Structure 1
Protein backbone atom coordinates (compact mmCIF):
# COMPACT_ATOMS: atom_id res chain seq x y z
CA UNK A 1 0.00 0.00 0.00
CA UNK A 2 1.57 3.33 -1.02
CA UNK A 3 2.82 5.73 1.66
CA UNK A 4 2.67 3.04 4.36
CA UNK A 5 5.57 1.05 5.79
CA UNK A 6 7.96 -0.12 3.06
CA UNK A 7 8.00 -3.65 1.70
CA UNK A 8 11.30 -5.31 0.79
CA UNK A 9 9.71 -7.25 -2.08
CA UNK A 10 8.12 -4.17 -3.61
CA UNK A 11 11.40 -2.26 -3.21
CA UNK A 12 13.07 -4.57 -5.73
CA UNK A 13 12.84 -3.51 -9.39
CA UNK A 14 9.58 -4.64 -10.95
CA UNK A 15 11.40 -6.31 -13.82
CA UNK A 16 13.29 -8.54 -11.40
CA UNK A 17 10.06 -9.55 -9.68
CA UNK A 18 8.41 -10.42 -12.98
CA UNK A 19 11.41 -12.49 -14.05
CA UNK A 20 11.12 -14.37 -10.77
CA UNK A 21 7.46 -15.15 -11.49
CA UNK A 22 8.36 -16.35 -14.98
CA UNK A 23 10.91 -18.69 -13.42
CA UNK A 24 8.16 -20.56 -11.59
CA UNK A 25 6.50 -23.57 -13.25
CA UNK A 26 2.97 -22.10 -13.30
CA UNK A 27 1.78 -19.76 -16.05
CA UNK A 28 1.75 -16.10 -14.97
CA UNK A 29 -1.85 -14.87 -15.02
CA UNK A 30 -2.04 -11.16 -15.81
CA UNK A 31 -5.55 -9.67 -15.86
CA UNK A 32 -5.98 -6.24 -17.35
CA UNK A 33 -6.33 -3.36 -14.90
CA UNK A 34 -7.61 -0.11 -16.42
CA UNK A 35 -7.07 2.07 -13.33
CA UNK A 36 -5.67 2.02 -9.81
CA UNK A 37 -8.79 0.67 -8.14
CA UNK A 38 -9.08 -2.18 -10.64
CA UNK A 39 -5.44 -2.98 -9.89
CA UNK A 40 -6.16 -3.10 -6.15
CA UNK A 41 -9.15 -5.39 -6.69
CA UNK A 42 -7.08 -7.74 -8.86
CA UNK A 43 -4.36 -7.85 -6.20
CA UNK A 44 -6.93 -8.56 -3.48
CA UNK A 45 -8.23 -11.43 -5.61
CA UNK A 46 -4.77 -12.98 -5.47
CA UNK A 47 -3.17 -12.05 -8.80
CA UNK A 48 0.59 -11.47 -8.73
CA UNK A 49 1.04 -9.46 -11.93
CA UNK A 50 -1.07 -7.16 -14.11
CA UNK A 51 -1.47 -6.00 -17.70
CA UNK A 52 -2.19 -2.49 -18.94
CA UNK A 53 -3.93 -2.54 -22.32
CA UNK A 54 -3.71 0.23 -24.89
CA UNK A 55 -7.29 -0.53 -25.90
CA UNK A 56 -8.44 -0.18 -22.28
CA UNK A 57 -6.56 3.08 -21.83
CA UNK A 58 -7.99 4.49 -25.07
CA UNK A 59 -11.53 3.43 -24.26
CA UNK A 60 -11.21 4.85 -20.73
CA UNK A 61 -10.50 8.19 -22.40
CA UNK A 62 -13.42 7.82 -24.82
CA UNK A 63 -11.10 7.17 -27.77
CA UNK A 64 -10.67 4.28 -30.23
CA UNK A 65 -7.55 2.12 -30.16
CA UNK A 66 -5.92 3.65 -33.24
CA UNK A 67 -2.61 4.85 -31.89
CA UNK A 68 -4.03 8.13 -30.60
CA UNK A 69 -2.61 7.65 -27.10
CA UNK A 70 0.53 9.58 -26.23
CA UNK A 71 3.39 8.40 -24.06
CA UNK A 72 2.25 10.84 -21.36
CA UNK A 73 -1.18 9.18 -21.33
CA UNK A 74 0.41 5.77 -20.85
CA UNK A 75 2.70 7.05 -18.11
CA UNK A 76 -0.32 8.45 -16.25
CA UNK A 77 -2.08 5.07 -16.22
CA UNK A 78 1.16 3.19 -15.45
CA UNK A 79 1.99 5.32 -12.42
CA UNK A 80 -1.43 5.00 -10.82
CA UNK A 81 -1.63 1.23 -11.29
CA UNK A 82 1.90 0.60 -10.00
CA UNK A 83 1.39 2.99 -7.07
CA UNK A 84 -1.94 1.43 -6.12
CA UNK A 85 -0.98 -2.24 -6.36
CA UNK A 86 2.80 -2.56 -6.23
CA UNK A 87 2.47 -5.53 -8.60
CA UNK A 88 4.68 -6.15 -11.65
CA UNK A 89 2.93 -4.51 -14.61
CA UNK A 90 3.26 -5.32 -18.31
CA UNK A 91 2.49 -2.15 -20.27
CA UNK A 92 1.18 -2.01 -23.84
CA UNK A 93 3.31 0.63 -25.57
CA UNK A 94 1.68 0.17 -28.97
CA UNK A 95 4.36 0.73 -31.65
CA UNK A 96 6.77 2.40 -29.23
CA UNK A 97 5.73 5.98 -30.09
CA UNK A 98 8.20 6.31 -32.94
CA UNK A 99 11.36 4.77 -34.25
CA UNK A 100 14.48 3.53 -32.45
CA UNK A 101 15.37 6.65 -30.45
CA UNK A 102 11.71 7.24 -29.55
CA UNK A 103 11.43 3.62 -28.40
CA UNK A 104 14.44 4.06 -26.15
CA UNK A 105 12.81 7.16 -24.65
CA UNK A 106 9.55 5.22 -24.17
CA UNK A 107 11.24 2.29 -22.45
CA UNK A 108 13.30 4.43 -20.08
CA UNK A 109 10.27 6.54 -19.08
CA UNK A 110 8.04 3.52 -18.51
CA UNK A 111 10.70 1.82 -16.42
CA UNK A 112 11.10 5.00 -14.37
CA UNK A 113 7.30 4.98 -13.88
CA UNK A 114 7.51 1.48 -12.39
CA UNK A 115 6.65 -0.82 -15.29
CA UNK A 116 8.02 -4.37 -15.13
CA UNK A 117 7.73 -5.05 -18.85
CA UNK A 118 6.89 -3.25 -22.07
CA UNK A 119 5.14 -4.66 -25.12
CA UNK A 120 5.90 -3.28 -28.58
CA UNK A 121 4.07 -4.43 -31.71
CA UNK A 122 5.07 -4.66 -35.37
CA UNK A 123 2.27 -2.57 -36.86
CA UNK A 124 2.46 0.76 -38.65
CA UNK A 125 0.40 3.78 -37.64
CA UNK A 126 -2.50 4.18 -37.55
CA UNK A 127 -2.34 0.88 -35.69
CA UNK A 128 -5.43 -1.21 -34.93
CA UNK A 129 -6.60 -3.64 -32.32
CA UNK A 130 -4.88 -6.91 -33.09
CA UNK A 131 -8.21 -8.67 -33.65
CA UNK A 132 -9.40 -6.32 -36.40
CA UNK A 133 -8.78 -6.68 -40.13
CA UNK A 134 -6.48 -4.89 -42.58
CA UNK A 135 -3.58 -4.19 -40.23
CA UNK A 136 -0.47 -2.70 -41.80
CA UNK A 137 2.77 -4.36 -40.74
CA UNK A 138 6.15 -2.74 -40.34
CA UNK A 139 9.06 -4.41 -42.14
CA UNK A 140 10.42 -7.12 -39.87
CA UNK A 141 13.90 -5.57 -39.86
CA UNK A 142 12.48 -2.22 -38.71
CA UNK A 143 10.66 -3.91 -35.83
CA UNK A 144 13.83 -5.81 -34.91
CA UNK A 145 15.68 -2.50 -34.75
CA UNK A 146 13.06 -1.19 -32.32
CA UNK A 147 13.46 -4.28 -30.15
CA UNK A 148 17.24 -3.87 -30.11
CA UNK A 149 16.82 -0.19 -29.16
CA UNK A 150 14.40 -1.11 -26.36
CA UNK A 151 16.83 -3.69 -24.98
CA UNK A 152 19.64 -1.17 -25.02
CA UNK A 153 17.57 1.39 -23.09
CA UNK A 154 16.18 -0.86 -20.36
CA UNK A 155 17.74 -1.68 -17.03
CA UNK A 156 15.81 -4.64 -15.57
CA UNK A 157 12.56 -4.18 -17.50
CA UNK A 158 11.48 -7.02 -19.85
CA UNK A 159 10.88 -6.41 -23.54
CA UNK A 160 8.00 -8.28 -25.18
CA UNK A 161 7.70 -8.21 -28.96
CA UNK A 162 4.19 -8.62 -30.32
CA UNK A 163 3.69 -9.80 -33.86
CA UNK A 164 0.43 -9.20 -35.70
CA UNK A 165 1.65 -11.08 -38.75
CA UNK A 166 -0.51 -14.18 -38.37
CA UNK A 167 -3.62 -12.51 -39.78
CA UNK A 168 -1.80 -10.69 -42.58
CA UNK A 169 1.08 -12.99 -43.58
CA UNK A 170 0.25 -16.38 -42.05
CA UNK A 171 1.69 -18.31 -39.14
CA UNK A 172 4.95 -19.35 -40.82
CA UNK A 173 5.89 -15.76 -41.53
CA UNK A 174 4.81 -14.75 -38.02
CA UNK A 175 7.17 -17.38 -36.59
CA UNK A 176 9.99 -16.07 -38.80
CA UNK A 177 9.35 -12.58 -37.47
CA UNK A 178 9.27 -13.83 -33.88
CA UNK A 179 12.63 -15.56 -34.29
CA UNK A 180 14.13 -12.35 -35.69
CA UNK A 181 12.80 -10.36 -32.74
CA UNK A 182 14.30 -12.87 -30.30
CA UNK A 183 17.66 -12.51 -32.05
CA UNK A 184 17.30 -8.74 -31.58
CA UNK A 185 16.98 -9.30 -27.83
CA UNK A 186 13.27 -9.71 -27.06
CA UNK A 187 12.71 -11.46 -23.74
CA UNK A 188 9.36 -12.92 -24.83
CA UNK A 189 7.02 -13.07 -27.81
CA UNK A 190 3.34 -12.18 -27.99
CA UNK A 191 1.72 -13.81 -31.06
CA UNK A 192 -1.50 -11.90 -31.61
CA UNK A 193 -4.86 -13.12 -32.93
CA UNK A 194 -4.19 -16.85 -33.18
CA UNK A 195 -7.48 -18.40 -34.26
CA UNK A 196 -7.37 -22.02 -33.03
CA UNK A 197 -5.90 -24.02 -30.17
CA UNK A 198 -3.91 -25.93 -32.78
CA UNK A 199 -2.34 -22.66 -33.90
CA UNK A 200 -1.37 -21.83 -30.32
CA UNK A 201 0.30 -25.24 -30.07
CA UNK A 202 2.07 -24.84 -33.44
CA UNK A 203 3.49 -21.47 -32.49
CA UNK A 204 4.69 -22.77 -29.14
CA UNK A 205 6.36 -25.80 -30.71
CA UNK A 206 8.18 -23.60 -33.23
CA UNK A 207 9.37 -21.19 -30.51
CA UNK A 208 10.34 -23.80 -27.94
CA UNK A 209 12.51 -22.29 -25.21
CA UNK A 210 11.22 -18.75 -25.78
CA UNK A 211 8.72 -17.34 -23.25
CA UNK A 212 5.35 -16.78 -24.92
CA UNK A 213 2.29 -14.73 -23.99
CA UNK A 214 -1.28 -15.72 -24.91
CA UNK A 215 -4.04 -13.14 -25.30
CA UNK A 216 -7.46 -14.29 -24.12
CA UNK A 217 -9.38 -11.14 -25.00
CA UNK A 218 -13.13 -11.59 -25.39
CA UNK A 219 -15.06 -11.07 -28.64
CA UNK A 220 -11.92 -11.45 -30.77
CA UNK A 221 -10.42 -13.99 -33.13
CA UNK A 222 -8.89 -16.29 -30.53
CA UNK A 223 -10.97 -19.03 -28.87
CA UNK A 224 -11.30 -18.99 -25.07
CA UNK A 225 -8.67 -21.32 -23.60
CA UNK A 226 -8.20 -21.80 -19.87
CA UNK A 227 -4.93 -20.76 -18.27
CA UNK A 228 -4.08 -24.34 -17.30
CA UNK A 229 -4.46 -25.49 -20.89
CA UNK A 230 -2.30 -22.64 -22.20
CA UNK A 231 0.34 -23.64 -19.67
CA UNK A 232 0.22 -27.20 -21.00
CA UNK A 233 0.62 -25.82 -24.54
CA UNK A 234 3.85 -24.10 -23.52
CA UNK A 235 2.80 -20.52 -22.71
CA UNK A 236 4.39 -18.71 -19.77
CA UNK A 237 1.99 -15.72 -19.59
CA UNK A 238 -1.69 -15.11 -20.25
CA UNK A 239 -3.59 -11.82 -20.33
CA UNK A 240 -7.25 -10.86 -20.23
CA UNK A 241 -6.57 -7.29 -21.35
CA UNK A 242 -9.94 -5.51 -21.40
CA UNK A 243 -12.15 -7.73 -19.24
CA UNK A 244 -12.30 -5.39 -16.23
CA UNK A 245 -13.19 -2.43 -18.44
CA UNK A 246 -15.88 -4.39 -20.32
CA UNK A 247 -17.59 -5.38 -17.06
CA UNK A 248 -17.33 -1.86 -15.62
CA UNK A 249 -18.61 -0.25 -18.82
CA UNK A 250 -21.57 -2.61 -19.02
CA UNK A 251 -22.53 -1.82 -15.42
CA UNK A 252 -22.16 1.94 -15.98
CA UNK A 253 -24.29 1.79 -19.11
CA UNK A 254 -27.03 0.05 -17.15
CA UNK A 255 -26.74 2.61 -14.35
CA UNK A 256 -27.05 5.64 -16.61
CA UNK A 257 -29.89 4.15 -18.62
CA UNK A 258 -31.89 3.24 -15.51
CA UNK A 259 -31.17 6.59 -13.84
CA UNK A 260 -32.30 8.52 -16.90
CA UNK A 261 -35.50 6.47 -17.00
CA UNK A 262 -36.43 6.43 -13.30
CA UNK A 263 -34.72 9.48 -11.80
CA UNK A 264 -33.23 7.41 -8.96
CA UNK A 265 -30.40 4.94 -8.38
CA UNK A 266 -32.47 2.98 -5.87
CA UNK A 267 -33.10 0.06 -8.25
CA UNK A 268 -29.38 -0.51 -8.71
CA UNK A 269 -28.25 -0.38 -5.09
CA UNK A 270 -27.91 -4.19 -4.90
CA UNK A 271 -25.36 -4.02 -7.76
CA UNK A 272 -23.25 -1.32 -6.16
CA UNK A 273 -20.10 -1.56 -4.08
CA UNK A 274 -21.01 -0.08 -0.71
CA UNK A 275 -19.19 2.83 0.88
CA UNK A 276 -17.74 0.45 3.49
CA UNK A 277 -16.51 -1.95 0.80
CA UNK A 278 -14.87 0.88 -1.13
CA UNK A 279 -13.13 2.25 1.93
CA UNK A 280 -11.88 -1.21 2.82
CA UNK A 281 -10.57 -1.75 -0.72
CA UNK A 282 -8.61 1.51 -0.79
CA UNK A 283 -7.42 1.24 2.82
CA UNK A 284 -8.99 4.42 4.18
CA UNK A 285 -8.47 3.44 7.83
CA UNK A 286 -4.78 2.74 7.31
CA UNK A 287 -4.26 6.08 5.57
CA UNK A 288 -6.06 7.94 8.34
CA UNK A 289 -4.02 6.14 10.97
CA UNK A 290 -0.82 7.07 9.13
CA UNK A 291 -1.91 10.69 8.87
CA UNK A 292 -2.70 10.79 12.60
CA UNK A 293 0.66 9.26 13.53
CA UNK A 294 2.54 11.80 11.40
CA UNK A 295 0.50 14.93 12.17
CA UNK A 296 -0.19 14.27 15.86
CA UNK A 297 0.60 17.34 17.96
CA UNK A 298 3.36 16.97 20.53
CA UNK A 299 3.65 19.09 23.64
CA UNK A 300 7.07 20.78 23.95
CA UNK A 301 9.09 19.65 26.94
Structure 2
Protein backbone atom coordinates (compact mmCIF):
# COMPACT_ATOMS: atom_id res chain seq x y z
CA UNK A 1 0.00 0.00 0.00
CA UNK A 2 1.39 3.40 -0.96
CA UNK A 3 1.92 6.25 1.49
CA UNK A 4 -0.67 8.28 -0.36
CA UNK A 5 -3.23 5.47 -0.11
CA UNK A 6 -2.67 5.32 3.64
CA UNK A 7 -3.11 9.09 3.92
CA UNK A 8 -6.32 9.14 1.87
CA UNK A 9 -7.82 6.12 3.62
CA UNK A 10 -7.66 7.92 6.97
CA UNK A 11 -10.47 10.21 5.68
CA UNK A 12 -8.99 12.96 7.85
CA UNK A 13 -9.01 15.70 5.19
CA UNK A 14 -5.23 15.74 4.92
CA UNK A 15 -4.16 18.99 3.28
CA UNK A 16 -2.22 18.67 0.02
CA UNK A 17 -0.51 22.03 -0.43
CA UNK A 18 0.16 22.97 -4.03
CA UNK A 19 3.45 23.70 -5.73
CA UNK A 20 4.08 24.97 -9.23
CA UNK A 21 7.87 24.59 -9.10
CA UNK A 22 10.61 22.94 -7.06
CA UNK A 23 11.14 25.93 -4.76
CA UNK A 24 7.50 26.03 -3.65
CA UNK A 25 7.63 22.23 -3.25
CA UNK A 26 10.63 22.53 -0.92
CA UNK A 27 8.70 25.03 1.19
CA UNK A 28 5.71 22.66 1.27
CA UNK A 29 7.94 19.89 2.59
CA UNK A 30 9.82 22.13 5.02
CA UNK A 31 6.60 23.38 6.58
CA UNK A 32 5.52 19.84 7.44
CA UNK A 33 2.86 18.76 4.94
CA UNK A 34 2.50 15.04 4.22
CA UNK A 35 1.99 15.29 0.48
CA UNK A 36 2.33 17.82 -2.33
CA UNK A 37 -0.01 18.70 -5.19
CA UNK A 38 1.65 19.64 -8.48
CA UNK A 39 -0.80 22.21 -9.78
CA UNK A 40 -1.54 22.51 -13.47
CA UNK A 41 -2.97 25.99 -13.00
CA UNK A 42 0.17 26.98 -11.15
CA UNK A 43 2.43 25.66 -13.91
CA UNK A 44 0.45 27.65 -16.48
CA UNK A 45 0.58 30.78 -14.32
CA UNK A 46 4.26 30.51 -13.35
CA UNK A 47 5.86 28.99 -16.45
CA UNK A 48 3.75 30.67 -19.13
CA UNK A 49 2.34 33.72 -17.38
CA UNK A 50 -1.01 32.47 -18.68
CA UNK A 51 -4.36 31.44 -17.18
CA UNK A 52 -5.46 27.84 -16.63
CA UNK A 53 -7.11 27.30 -20.02
CA UNK A 54 -5.36 24.19 -21.32
CA UNK A 55 -2.18 25.77 -22.70
CA UNK A 56 0.39 23.58 -20.94
CA UNK A 57 1.78 20.44 -22.56
CA UNK A 58 2.52 17.01 -21.11
CA UNK A 59 6.25 17.66 -21.51
CA UNK A 60 6.02 20.89 -19.50
CA UNK A 61 4.14 19.17 -16.71
CA UNK A 62 6.48 16.15 -16.70
CA UNK A 63 9.54 18.37 -16.54
CA UNK A 64 8.11 20.20 -13.53
CA UNK A 65 7.22 16.91 -11.81
CA UNK A 66 10.71 15.54 -12.41
CA UNK A 67 12.32 18.64 -10.91
CA UNK A 68 10.04 18.54 -7.87
CA UNK A 69 10.60 14.80 -7.35
CA UNK A 70 14.34 15.49 -7.33
CA UNK A 71 13.95 18.27 -4.76
CA UNK A 72 11.64 16.64 -2.17
CA UNK A 73 10.61 13.24 -0.84
CA UNK A 74 6.87 13.79 -0.37
CA UNK A 75 4.36 11.82 -2.48
CA UNK A 76 3.28 13.91 -5.46
CA UNK A 77 -0.30 14.25 -6.68
CA UNK A 78 -0.02 15.51 -10.25
CA UNK A 79 -2.66 17.45 -12.13
CA UNK A 80 -2.79 15.68 -15.50
CA UNK A 81 -5.64 17.81 -16.85
CA UNK A 82 -7.67 15.82 -19.40
CA UNK A 83 -4.92 13.23 -19.96
CA UNK A 84 -3.66 15.36 -22.85
CA UNK A 85 -5.96 13.69 -25.37
CA UNK A 86 -8.02 10.54 -25.70
CA UNK A 87 -7.68 7.21 -23.88
CA UNK A 88 -4.51 6.28 -25.75
CA UNK A 89 -2.96 9.66 -24.93
CA UNK A 90 -3.98 9.12 -21.29
CA UNK A 91 -2.23 5.73 -21.27
CA UNK A 92 0.91 7.52 -22.45
CA UNK A 93 0.40 10.32 -19.90
CA UNK A 94 0.36 7.82 -17.04
CA UNK A 95 3.62 6.28 -18.27
CA UNK A 96 5.33 9.66 -18.60
CA UNK A 97 4.18 11.12 -15.27
CA UNK A 98 4.77 7.91 -13.33
CA UNK A 99 8.31 7.84 -14.68
CA UNK A 100 8.76 11.51 -13.73
CA UNK A 101 7.85 10.79 -10.11
CA UNK A 102 4.07 11.02 -9.69
CA UNK A 103 2.46 9.08 -6.84
CA UNK A 104 -1.01 9.91 -8.19
CA UNK A 105 -2.39 11.54 -11.30
CA UNK A 106 -5.61 13.52 -11.43
CA UNK A 107 -7.67 13.25 -14.62
CA UNK A 108 -10.70 15.38 -15.40
CA UNK A 109 -13.70 14.95 -17.67
CA UNK A 110 -13.73 18.37 -19.30
CA UNK A 111 -13.58 18.84 -23.03
CA UNK A 112 -10.26 20.08 -24.35
CA UNK A 113 -9.14 22.80 -24.01
CA UNK A 114 -10.00 22.53 -20.34
CA UNK A 115 -10.25 25.47 -17.98
CA UNK A 116 -9.93 26.10 -14.27
CA UNK A 117 -12.64 24.29 -12.32
CA UNK A 118 -13.82 27.56 -10.84
CA UNK A 119 -14.16 29.36 -14.20
CA UNK A 120 -17.51 29.59 -15.95
CA UNK A 121 -18.20 28.11 -19.38
CA UNK A 122 -16.95 24.57 -18.75
CA UNK A 123 -18.09 21.62 -20.86
CA UNK A 124 -17.65 17.90 -20.19
CA UNK A 125 -17.04 14.89 -22.40
CA UNK A 126 -19.42 11.90 -22.43
CA UNK A 127 -18.99 9.79 -19.30
CA UNK A 128 -18.09 6.73 -21.38
CA UNK A 129 -15.10 8.57 -22.85
CA UNK A 130 -13.85 9.43 -19.37
CA UNK A 131 -14.35 5.82 -18.29
CA UNK A 132 -12.09 4.81 -21.18
CA UNK A 133 -9.42 7.25 -20.01
CA UNK A 134 -9.55 5.92 -16.46
CA UNK A 135 -9.30 2.34 -17.70
CA UNK A 136 -6.29 3.31 -19.82
CA UNK A 137 -4.54 5.00 -16.90
CA UNK A 138 -5.15 2.00 -14.65
CA UNK A 139 -3.78 -0.32 -17.34
CA UNK A 140 -0.66 1.79 -17.90
CA UNK A 141 0.54 2.12 -14.33
CA UNK A 142 3.30 -0.12 -13.05
CA UNK A 143 4.21 1.41 -9.68
CA UNK A 144 0.86 1.60 -7.92
CA UNK A 145 0.31 5.20 -8.98
CA UNK A 146 -3.16 6.27 -7.88
CA UNK A 147 -5.80 7.44 -10.33
CA UNK A 148 -7.91 10.35 -9.13
CA UNK A 149 -10.91 10.96 -11.38
CA UNK A 150 -12.29 14.48 -11.35
CA UNK A 151 -15.67 15.49 -12.70
CA UNK A 152 -16.67 19.05 -13.52
CA UNK A 153 -20.27 18.06 -14.18
CA UNK A 154 -21.84 20.05 -11.33
CA UNK A 155 -21.45 23.26 -13.32
CA UNK A 156 -22.86 21.64 -16.45
CA UNK A 157 -25.53 19.12 -15.40
CA UNK A 158 -25.92 19.49 -11.62
CA UNK A 159 -24.92 17.55 -8.54
CA UNK A 160 -26.92 14.37 -9.27
CA UNK A 161 -25.26 13.95 -12.66
CA UNK A 162 -21.86 14.62 -11.13
CA UNK A 163 -22.39 11.93 -8.49
CA UNK A 164 -23.55 9.47 -11.15
CA UNK A 165 -20.34 10.14 -13.04
CA UNK A 166 -18.27 9.65 -9.90
CA UNK A 167 -19.86 6.24 -9.34
CA UNK A 168 -19.09 5.19 -12.91
CA UNK A 169 -15.49 6.37 -12.57
CA UNK A 170 -15.07 4.34 -9.40
CA UNK A 171 -16.41 1.28 -11.21
CA UNK A 172 -13.83 1.91 -13.96
CA UNK A 173 -11.01 1.69 -11.41
CA UNK A 174 -10.48 5.19 -10.03
CA UNK A 175 -8.88 5.01 -6.58
CA UNK A 176 -10.34 8.37 -5.55
CA UNK A 177 -12.80 10.80 -7.06
CA UNK A 178 -12.90 14.57 -7.06
CA UNK A 179 -16.24 16.27 -7.67
CA UNK A 180 -15.15 19.78 -8.50
CA UNK A 181 -16.71 23.07 -7.40
CA UNK A 182 -19.58 22.10 -5.08
CA UNK A 183 -21.43 25.26 -4.14
CA UNK A 184 -22.67 24.52 -0.63
CA UNK A 185 -22.21 22.33 2.41
CA UNK A 186 -25.05 19.98 1.46
CA UNK A 187 -23.39 19.13 -1.85
CA UNK A 188 -20.11 18.52 -0.03
CA UNK A 189 -21.78 16.09 2.37
CA UNK A 190 -23.20 14.11 -0.55
CA UNK A 191 -19.79 14.00 -2.22
CA UNK A 192 -18.04 12.82 0.94
CA UNK A 193 -20.47 9.88 1.17
CA UNK A 194 -19.12 8.30 -2.05
CA UNK A 195 -17.51 4.88 -1.48
CA UNK A 196 -13.86 5.83 -2.12
CA UNK A 197 -11.85 8.67 -0.54
CA UNK A 198 -12.79 12.09 -1.89
CA UNK A 199 -10.86 15.23 -2.76
CA UNK A 200 -12.08 18.70 -1.80
CA UNK A 201 -10.57 21.66 -3.61
CA UNK A 202 -10.50 24.91 -1.63
CA UNK A 203 -9.78 27.87 -3.88
CA UNK A 204 -9.40 31.26 -2.20
CA UNK A 205 -12.17 33.33 -3.81
CA UNK A 206 -13.58 30.27 -5.63
CA UNK A 207 -16.99 28.58 -5.70
CA UNK A 208 -16.53 25.97 -2.93
CA UNK A 209 -17.21 27.00 0.69
CA UNK A 210 -13.84 27.32 2.47
CA UNK A 211 -14.73 24.96 5.31
CA UNK A 212 -12.03 24.31 7.91
CA UNK A 213 -10.06 21.07 7.85
CA UNK A 214 -11.76 19.75 10.99
CA UNK A 215 -15.19 20.04 9.40
CA UNK A 216 -14.04 18.42 6.16
CA UNK A 217 -12.52 15.57 8.20
CA UNK A 218 -15.79 15.13 10.04
CA UNK A 219 -17.52 14.80 6.66
CA UNK A 220 -14.94 12.14 5.69
CA UNK A 221 -12.92 13.75 2.89
CA UNK A 222 -9.60 12.06 2.19
CA UNK A 223 -7.62 14.98 0.80
CA UNK A 224 -8.06 18.74 0.66
CA UNK A 225 -6.27 20.67 -2.04
CA UNK A 226 -4.95 24.16 -1.49
CA UNK A 227 -3.46 24.12 -4.94
CA UNK A 228 -2.28 27.69 -5.31
CA UNK A 229 -2.12 29.23 -1.85
CA UNK A 230 1.66 29.66 -2.12
CA UNK A 231 1.34 31.09 -5.62
CA UNK A 232 -1.35 33.57 -4.59
CA UNK A 233 0.76 34.65 -1.62
CA UNK A 234 3.80 35.10 -3.84
CA UNK A 235 1.85 37.18 -6.38
CA UNK A 236 0.56 39.52 -3.68
CA UNK A 237 3.90 39.84 -1.91
CA UNK A 238 5.84 40.33 -5.15
CA UNK A 239 3.49 43.08 -6.26
CA UNK A 240 3.71 44.85 -2.91
CA UNK A 241 7.50 44.65 -2.71
CA UNK A 242 8.17 45.70 -6.30
CA UNK A 243 5.69 48.56 -6.07
CA UNK A 244 7.51 49.86 -2.99
CA UNK A 245 10.89 49.44 -4.70
CA UNK A 246 9.72 51.43 -7.72
CA UNK A 247 8.13 54.16 -5.64
CA UNK A 248 10.79 54.47 -2.91
CA UNK A 249 13.96 53.34 -4.61
CA UNK A 250 14.67 51.00 -1.68
CA UNK A 251 13.22 48.05 0.25
CA UNK A 252 13.11 49.82 3.61
CA UNK A 253 9.31 49.99 3.70
CA UNK A 254 8.79 46.30 2.88
CA UNK A 255 11.79 44.60 4.45
CA UNK A 256 9.55 42.58 6.77
CA UNK A 257 7.91 40.97 3.71
CA UNK A 258 11.20 39.57 2.43
CA UNK A 259 12.97 36.35 3.37
CA UNK A 260 16.43 37.29 4.57
CA UNK A 261 19.51 35.88 2.86
CA UNK A 262 19.91 32.95 5.25
CA UNK A 263 16.24 31.99 5.05
CA UNK A 264 16.48 31.95 1.28
CA UNK A 265 19.50 29.63 1.41
CA UNK A 266 17.71 27.30 3.83
CA UNK A 267 14.75 27.16 1.44
CA UNK A 268 16.97 25.73 -1.31
CA UNK A 269 18.91 23.41 1.04
CA UNK A 270 22.26 25.06 0.44
CA UNK A 271 23.68 23.10 3.37
CA UNK A 272 23.20 19.89 1.35
CA UNK A 273 25.18 21.24 -1.58
CA UNK A 274 27.88 22.57 0.74
CA UNK A 275 28.21 19.10 2.25
CA UNK A 276 28.56 17.55 -1.22
CA UNK A 277 31.20 20.07 -2.17
CA UNK A 278 33.17 19.30 0.98
CA UNK A 279 32.81 15.55 0.46
CA UNK A 280 34.14 15.60 -3.09
CA UNK A 281 36.91 18.11 -2.46
CA UNK A 282 38.75 15.85 -0.03
TM-score scaled by length of structure 2: 0.95
Match of 1:150 in 2: 137
SS at match of 1:64: coil
| Rounded Cα–Cα distance in structure 2 between residues aligned with 1:259 and 1:21 | 44
Contact kept in structure 1, 2:203 and 2:226, CA below 8 Å: yes
Query: 1:1-301 to 2 correspondence within 5 Å?
Result: 16-24=2-10, 26-60=12-46, 61-155=48-142, 156-205=144-193, 207=194, 209-296=195-282
Deviation at 1:23, TM superposition (A): 3.6
In the alignment, the residues of structure 2 paired with residue 173 and residue 91 of structure 1 have an alpha-carbon distance, to the nearest angstrom, of 25
CA distance in 1, matches of 2:125, 2:151: 10
Secondary structure at the counterpart of residue 19 of structure 2: coil
Q: Cα gap change, 1:34/1:272 in structure 2, threshold over 3 Å: closer, same or farther?
A: same
CA RMSD of aligned residues (A): 1.3
CA distance in 2, matches of 1:152, 1:198: 35
- Offset of residue 289 of structure 1: 1.6
Q: 1:25, CA displacement in angstroms? A: 5.4
Cα shift at 1:28? 2.2
Structure 1: any 5+ residue segments left out of the alignment?
Answer: 1-14, 297-301
Q: How many corresponding residue pairs?
A: 280
* Whole-angstrom CA distance in 2 between matches of 1:233 and 1:26: 9
4+ residue segments displaced more than 4 Å:
none
- The CA distance in 2 between the partners of 1:268 and 1:204, in whole Å, is 43
Q: 1-side partners of 2:250 and 2:268: how far apart?
A: 27
Larger deviation, residues 239-248 vs 19-28: 19-28
What is the alpha-carbon distance in structure 2 between the residues aligned to residue 188 and residue 75 of structure 1?
A: 22
Following TM superposition, by how much is the alpha carbon of 1:273 offset from its aligned partner in structure 2, in angstroms? 0.4
CA distance in 2, matches of 1:252, 1:79: 26
Q: Which moved more, 1:262-271 or 1:73-82?
A: 262-271
For residues 27 and 133 of structure 1, the distance between their equivalents in structure 2, rounded to whole angstroms, comes to: 27
Q: Distance in 2 between matches of 1:106 and 1:250?
A: 33
Structure 2 counterpart SS, 1:63 = coil
Deviation at 1:291, TM superposition (A): 1.7
